[in-house]
């Protein structure tokens, strides 16, 4: 009997132990847990003029330079009830749980995932910073954080090779010090900068009305994964991975130095999402949701299995000067992150693009609608070049059949002899001449083989709708290898045309590809830069991303305002401050959205040259074509406005050709902006309805002047 009782007790113990292990595995499925206590206390090192102190348990840090202090997340001592201690965590992690057959998303600071994410022996002290391995044992994810202080720059890197995961939990995003240099409630003189369009400021002086954070993907969404949108009024794409917090006594310029193609910019003000802090920074995207097609019509929601591979690096550039100007941020970004060579800019420029032909449906297929001929382009250029010494000319729709359905290349050309003569004659006038072509998208009616088209992550061909009003055209994405083949072939055949290229979407539309030609966004960046750099002809790019800035010859379709999100309070010409004087910059076609004097003033304020799309025939002929949204384009109608706009812009900007904006100010309480240039001139732009006197010079309402 005693033996039976002993056996029964032993069995109960074994069963309980087994159940206990199962429960422990269910509640804490870590494969990364190790013995050893968590890191405690603080580490301090001095580098140059800075003292860096970090809390080893959550990686919260501070930097001191004299009386100025930067923190990665500091609680307000006077409002303990509202404060959220989570802002003291150095990193936030978004992840997916795939346990029990469900997929659940979580977004948490590291100490809410694991109470002791950094172990003592895995915090490495360095003379210029520290290394720390973050072990999120609750979700079986770990990665390394490398922090270095060099001069006025704090760099924080998460190496791709350090990331470890298991199948039960998958990493989705990491936010690196999202509350660095954040501020509490309203801040007198405080501003946040985000690179939306030409640039935008968020005023921190007074509570705003915005209910949502600003959140946009750097370089635009990846349409190789997410479905493309086709709104006519799309928000501006983020083309530069830079943000800033600006206060009266110090500022910080934050840059995604590595992994920008997988970064997302966020910005919020006090009160949004019940967070009483003003903040901006970067989140890095390792995985995304997508629609996985089961057949041609049926799809289900899915999640990237293989994560994106890249080193995530954020640079916090510390600016200790008081009242830092937005132009100071632009100069710091240009000088430290862009290797720019100055292009030849001798005069105030103007770009005239001529639509040669388009096509529309007819009884027997499609008929060509001829709008302009090469002789008319030459006559117009000769006339305009008398008063515009910086003229450049481009043609579009010059292929057989016109623009709609044209091949994604310069050839076949409808009138080779005519364009050869045009290029030769324009060269004699010293007028640059370009063929406009899209090497990235192809009209679906252009007959491009499926073998040359990109497939998305669901192995579907990517279809893009035309955003022009009234157009029913659709486009497909071309493989990078085919893009390179087309451009190189065109370049080899351009001899004798005295022409360069305007490449729309090249260097602006960034995506990944799958199946027959797999490539990442990182791969496409490298290939595109090399393609343009080694092209051997002048190439103008349309609203390109920052990695193309040093290889392009001119910038077309330049944004001159922001997207006007509710959180944004002021548009600034940050993009133009970065590139002005280095690269000629031209606006979008003014006649497509002409608003008169206010539009001219924005060009002057931004130091951007005017652009028009013109035709010989009246635009009524375009009805029924994909270009019918061009409702007015006849040069006969627009000739006076073309000249007047150029002369108004040139009268001011001729004084600052080749110079950079080094300071931008707004007159107190008035819609008047003063831009100071590196050559000593100032442009004073009066958007208001009343005259404004600046240093004894009267600037009439709705006008602009240049003064020394």
Segment 408-459, tens digit of pLDDT: 999 989 999 999 999 999 999 999 999 999 999 999 988 899 999 999 998 8
DSSP 333-385: HHHHH---------S-EEEEEEE-EEEEEETTEEEEEE---HHHHHHHHHHHT
pLDDT of residue 83: 53
Residues 6+ apart with CB under 8 A from 24: none
| Highest-confidence segment of 16-30, 456-470, 630-644 | 630-644
CA dist 581 → 325, 346, 500, 591, 689 (Å): 19, 10, 21, 25, 31
CA atoms within 13 A on the CB side of 592: 17
Left (φ > 0), alpha (ψ -120 to 50) or beta: where does 704 sit?
A: beta
In the chain, the largest separation of any two C-alpha atoms, in whole Å, equals 117
Q: Which has more confidence, 130 or 230?
A: 130
In three-state secondary structure terms, 567 is: coil
What CA–CA distance (Å, rounded) separates 686 from 62? 43
The mean per-residue pLDDT over the stretch 457-480 comes to 89
What CA–CA distance (Å, rounded) separates 686 from 692? 7
Contact 49, 65 (CB under 8 A): yes
Closest CA to 272 of 188, 174, 202: 202
The residues with which 244 forms a beta bridge, in sequence order, are: 193, 253
Closest CA to 117 of 88, 141, 85, 147: 141
Contact 130, 155 (CB under 8 A): no
Residues 6+ apart with CB under 8 A from 338: 546, 549, 550, 578
In three-state secondary structure terms, 603 is: helix
Q: Which has more confidence, 342 or 424?
A: 424
> What tens digit of pLDDT does each residue of 36-74 get?
577 789 999 999 999 999 999 999 999 999 999 999 998
Q: Which residue blocks in 613-683 are alpha helix, DSSP H? A: 635-653
Pairing of strands 214-217, 141-150: unpaired
Contact 154, 148 (CB under 8 A): yes
pLDDT of residue 79: 60
How confident is residue 392, by pLDDT bands cut at 50, 70 and 90? very high
pLDDT of residue 8: 40
pLDDT of residue 673: 97
Closest CA to 659 of 605, 573, 581, 574: 581
DSSP 106-161: EEEEHHHH-S--EEEEEEEEETTEEEEEEEETTTTEEEEEEEEEETTEEEEEE-GG
| Cis before 412? omega within 30 | yes
In three-state secondary structure terms, 569 is: coil
Helix H or strand E encompassing 418: helix 416-428
Contact 32, 143 (CB under 8 A): no
The mean per-residue pLDDT over the stretch 246-264 comes to 98
Q: How far apart are the first and last CA of the chain?
A: 109
What CA–CA distance (Å, rounded) separates 597 from 518? 49
pLDDT of residue 104: 84
Q: CA 447, 451, 457 angle in degrees (round to 5)?
A: 115
What CA–CA distance (Å, rounded) separates 265 from 314? 12
DSSP state of 11: H
What CA–CA distance (Å, rounded) separates 555 from 183? 36
Closest CA to 443 of 472, 486, 416: 472
What CA–CA distance (Å, rounded) separates 215 from 166? 29
> What tens digit of pLDDT does each residue of 278-328 get?
999 999 999 998 888 776 677 788 889 999 999 999 999 999 999 999 999
In three-state secondary structure terms, 100 is: helix
- Which residue matches tokens 């103007």? 350
Contact 303, 170 (CB under 8 A): yes
**Least confident interval from 101-105, 224-228, 253-257, 580-584:** 101-105
How confident is residue 13, by pLDDT bands cut at 50, 70 and 90? very low
**Confidence check: pLDDT of 25 > 60:** no
In three-state secondary structure terms, 57 is: coil
Closest CA to 396 of 525, 503, 553: 503
Contact 609, 390 (CB under 8 A): yes
pLDDT of residue 81: 57
In three-state secondary structure terms, 592 is: helix
What CA–CA distance (Å, rounded) separates 130 from 149? 9
> What tens digit of pLDDT does each residue of 592-622 get?
999 999 999 999 999 999 999 999 999 999 9
CA dist 352 → 506, 587, 606, 651 (Å): 20, 11, 19, 19
How confident is residue 32, by pLDDT bands cut at 50, 70 and 90? very low
CA dist 431 → 377, 426, 502, 682 (Å): 12, 5, 15, 29
The percentage of residues in the chain with a pLDDT greater than 90, rounded to a whole number, is 78
- Which residue matches tokens 């050709």? 657
Contact 175, 283 (CB under 8 A): yes
pLDDT of residue 37: 73
pLDDT of residue 469: 80
What CA–CA distance (Å, rounded) separates 30 from 612? 62
What CA–CA distance (Å, rounded) separates 654 from 432? 19
How confident is residue 363, by pLDDT bands cut at 50, 70 and 90? confident
Give the tokens for residue 343. 């292009």
What string of H, E and C letters represents the secondary structure of 316-329? EEEECCCCCCHHHH
Q: Which has more confidence, 460 or 151?
A: 151
What CA–CA distance (Å, rounded) separates 405 from 588? 22
DSSP state of 237: P
CA atoms within 13 A on the CB side of 139: 30
SS3 content of the chain, % helix, strand, coil (to 5): 25, 35, 40
Could you count the other beta carbons within 10 Å of the beta carbon of residue 192? 27
Give the tokens for residue 524. 């496409």
> What tens digit of pLDDT does each residue of 510-569 get?
999 998 899 999 999 999 999 999 999 999 999 999 999 999 999 999 999 999 999 999
What CA–CA distance (Å, rounded) separates 269 from 267? 7
- Which residue matches tokens 């076609």? 589
What CA–CA distance (Å, rounded) separates 218 from 239? 7
What CA–CA distance (Å, rounded) separates 630 from 620? 9
């Amino acid at each position: 009997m005693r033996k039976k009782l002993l056996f029964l007790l032993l069995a109960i113990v074994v069963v309980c132990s087994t159940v206990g292990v199962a429960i422990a595995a269910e509640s804490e499925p870590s494969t990364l847990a190790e013995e050893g206590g968590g890191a405690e206390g603080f580490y301090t090192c001095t580098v140059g003029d800075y003292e860096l102190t970090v809390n080893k348990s959550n990686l919260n840090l501070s930097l001191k330079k004299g009386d100025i202090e930067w923190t990665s997340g500091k609680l307000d001592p006077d409002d303990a009830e509202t404060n959220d201690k989570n802002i003291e965590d150095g990193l936030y992690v978004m992840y997916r749980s795939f346990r029990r057959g469900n997929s659940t998303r979580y977004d948490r600071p590291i100490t809410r995932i694991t109470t002791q994410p950094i172990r003592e022996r895995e915090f490495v002290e360095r003379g210029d910073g520290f290394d720390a391995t973050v072990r999120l044992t609750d979700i079986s994810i770990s990665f390394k954080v490398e922090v270095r202080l060099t001069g006025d720059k704090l760099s924080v890197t998460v190496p791709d090779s350090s990331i470890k995961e298991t199948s039960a939990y998958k990493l989705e995003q990491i936010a690196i010090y999202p509350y660095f240099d954040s501020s509490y409630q309203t801040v007198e003189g405080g501003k946040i900068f985000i690179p939306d369009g030409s640039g935008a400021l968020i005023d921190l002086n007074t509570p705003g009305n915005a209910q949502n954070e600003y959140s946009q993907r750097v370089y635009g969404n990846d349409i190789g994964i997410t479905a493309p949108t086709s709104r006519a009024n799309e928000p501006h794409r983020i083309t530069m991975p830079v943000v800033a917090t600006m206060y009266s006594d110090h500022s910080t310029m934050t840059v995604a130095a590595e992994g920008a193609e997988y970064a997302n910019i966020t910005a919020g003000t006090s009160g949004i999402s019940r967070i009483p802090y003003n903040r901006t920074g970067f989140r890095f995207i390792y995985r995304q949701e997508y629609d996985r097609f089961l057949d041609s019509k049926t799809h289900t929601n899915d999640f990237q299995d293989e994560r994106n591979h890249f080193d995530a690096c954020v640079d916090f550039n510390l600016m200790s000067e008081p009242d830092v100007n937005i132009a100071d941020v632009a100069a710091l970004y240009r000088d430290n992150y862009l290797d720019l060579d100055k292009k030849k800019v001798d005069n105030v420029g103007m770009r005239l693009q001529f639509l040669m032909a388009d096509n529309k449906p007819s009884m027997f297929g499609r008929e060509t609608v001829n709008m302009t001929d090469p002789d008319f382009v030459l006559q117009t250029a000769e006339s305009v070049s008398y008063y515009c010494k910086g003229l450049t000319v481009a043609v579009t729709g010059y292929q057989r059949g016109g623009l709609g359905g044209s091949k994604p290349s310069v050839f076949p050309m409808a009138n080779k002899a005519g364009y050869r003569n045009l290029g030769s004659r324009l060269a004699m006038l010293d007028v640059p001449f370009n063929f406009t072509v899209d090497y990235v998208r192809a009209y679906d009616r252009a007959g491009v083989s499926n073998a040359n088209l990109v497939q998305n992550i669901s192995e579907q061909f990517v279809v893009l709708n035309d955003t022009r009003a009234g157009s029913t055209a659709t486009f497909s994405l071309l493989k990078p290898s085919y893009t390179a083949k087309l451009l190189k072939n065109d370049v080899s055949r351009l001899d004798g045309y005295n022409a360069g290229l305007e490449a729309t979407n090249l260097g602006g539309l960034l995506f990944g590809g799958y199946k027959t030609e797999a490539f990442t966004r990182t791969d496409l960046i490298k290939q595109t830069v090399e393609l343009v750099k080694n092209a051997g002809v002048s190439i103008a790019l349309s609203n390109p991303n920052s990695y193309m800035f040093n290889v392009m010859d001119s910038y077309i379709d330049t944004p001159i305002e922001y997207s006007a999100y509710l959180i944004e309070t002021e548009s600034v010409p940050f993009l133009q401050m970065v590139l002005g004087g280095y690269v000629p910059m031209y606006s979008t076609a003014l006649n497509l959205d002409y608003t008169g004097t206010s539009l001219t003033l924005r060009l002057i304020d931004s130091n951007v040259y005017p652009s028009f799309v013109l035709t010989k025939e009246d635009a009524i002929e375009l009805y029924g074509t994909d270009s019918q949204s061009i409702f007015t384009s006849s040069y006969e109608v627009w000739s006076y406005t073309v000249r007047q706009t150029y002369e108004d812009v040139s009268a001011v900007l001729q004084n600052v050709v080749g110079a950079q904006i080094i300071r931008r100010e707004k007159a107190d309480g008035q819609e008047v902006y003063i831009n100071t240039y590196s050559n000593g001139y100032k442009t004073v732009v009066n958007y208001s309805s009343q005259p404004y006197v600046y240093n004894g010079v009267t600037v009439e309402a709705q006008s602009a002047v240049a003064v020394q």
